[in-house]
Amino acid sequence: MKIGTDIIAINRIESAIEKFGDSFKQRFLCEDEIKFAKKSASIAGLWAAKEAISKAFGCGIGGELGFYDIIISKNSKGAPRFELSEKVAPNFPHTNSSLSISHDGGFAIAVVVIGE
């Protein structure tokens, strides 16, 4: 079992969106993620989730696993879940996973548990 966590100040995301606009979101979110993450708190949650996932896999965001390689969606009950792109999935085998994203008090946090 592997675990990863990340926390980010929502105002950091708000500042980046104000400075760079939609191009900031396009740097780390796929098209479908942009569609369901409208508020800055939700966008910050997705940032934290992708960071947490990469930490759980032990590599961080970089050459082995990029932001676009992690695809976050919601299940039928609205809970977050993730998949890896076909390009990197064979390099990060796992049997199951659980992702939780929350935001409050100006921060967004994500925790992921990945079964081997």
User: Looking at residue 13, what is its pLDDT?
Assistant: 97
CATH of residue 37: 3.90.470.20
Whether the CB-CB separation of 25 and 44 falls below 8 Å is answered with no
Q: What is the pLDDT of residues 85-102, one digit of tens each?
A: 999 999 999 989 999 999
C-alpha 69, offset from chain centre? 10
Domain count of the chain?
Answer: 1
Task: Please give the chain's pLDDT, 116 residues, in tens.
Answer: 999 999 999 999 999 999 999 999 999 999 999 998 989 999 999 999 999 999 999 999 999 999 999 999 999 999 999 999 999 999 999 989 999 999 999 999 999 999 98
Which amino acids are annotated catalytic?
55, 103
Tell me what pLDDT residue 98 has.
96
Task: Say if residues 44 and 103 touch (Cβ distance below 8 Å).
Answer: yes
Contact (CB, 8 A) for 14 and 20 = no
Name the residue range of residue 91's domain: 2-115
Tell which residue, 68, 44, 45, 64, has the closest CA to residue 55.
64
The pLDDT, as a whole number, for residue 2 is 96
**Global model pTM greater than 0.85:** yes
pLDDT of residue 116: 80
